[in-house]
Amino acid sequence: MFQKNDVVTVRIEHMGNNGEGIARADGYTLFVKDGLPGDLAEVKIVKAKKQYGYGRLMRILEPSENRVEPRCPLHQKCGGCQIQALSYKEQLRYKEEKVRGHLKHIGGFPEPPVLPVIGMEEPFRYRNKAQFPFGTDKDGRIVTGFYAGRTHSIVANTDCVLGAPENKEILEIILAFLEERKISVYDEKTGKGLLRHALIRKGFRTGELMVCLVVNGRSFPGADELADRLFAVPGMTSVTLNVNEKNTNVIMGTEILPVRGRTHIMDAIGPIRYRISPLSFYQVNPVQTEKLYQTALDYAGLTGTETVWDLYCGIGTISLFLAQKAEKVYGVEVIPDAVRDARSNAELNGIANAEFYEGRAEEVLPEMYEKKGIRADVIVVDPPRKGCDTACLETMLLMKPERIVYVSCDSATLARDLKILCAGGYKLEQVQPVDMFGQTSGVETVVLLSHKSTWKSTMLF
Q: List active site positions.
A: 409
Residues 233 and 35: their CA atoms lie apart, in Å, by: 40
Residues 414 and 270: their CA atoms lie apart, in Å, by: 26
First to last CA, the chain: 53
Beta strands in 351-392 (DSSP E): 354-358, 378-381
Q: How many helical (H) and strand (E) elements, i.e. helices and strands, does the chain have? A: 9, 21
Residues 78 and 68: their CA atoms lie apart, in Å, by: 18
Burial label, 123 (beta-carbon count in 10 A; 0-12, 13-18, 19+): buried
Question: Can you give 370-434 as a three-state secondary structure string?
Answer: HCCCCCCCEEEECCCCCCCCHHHHHHHHHHCCCEEEEEECCHHHHHHHHHHHHHCCEEEEEEEEE
Geometric angle at alpha carbon 203, from 343 and 338, rounded to 5°? 25
Residues 322 and 275: their CA atoms lie apart, in Å, by: 18
The pairing of strands 307-311 and 328-333 is: parallel
**At 455, phi and psi to the nearest 5?**
-65, -25
Q: Check the CA dihedral 401-307-395-447 and report its sign.
A: positive
For helices 88-105 and 411-423, angle between their N-to-C axes, nearest 10 degrees: 40
**Among candidates 159, 136, 140, which has minimal Cα distance to 74?**
159
Contact residues for 272 (Cβ-Cβ < 8 A; gap 6+): 317, 320, 321, 324, 345, 349
- For the chain, the 3-state helix, strand and coil shares in percent, each to the nearest 5, are 25, 30, 45
Residues 41 and 64: their CA atoms lie apart, in Å, by: 10
**Among candidates 103, 35, 175, which has minimal Cα distance to 417?**
103
The phi-psi region of residue 396 (left if phi > 0; otherwise alpha if psi is between -120 and 50; otherwise beta) is alpha
Residue 418 and residue 60 in contact, taking contact as beta carbons nearer than 8 Å: no
Residue 136 and residue 289 in contact, taking contact as beta carbons nearer than 8 Å: no
> What is the longest distance spanned by two Cα atoms in the chain?
71
Burial label, 213 (beta-carbon count in 10 A; 0-12, 13-18, 19+): buried
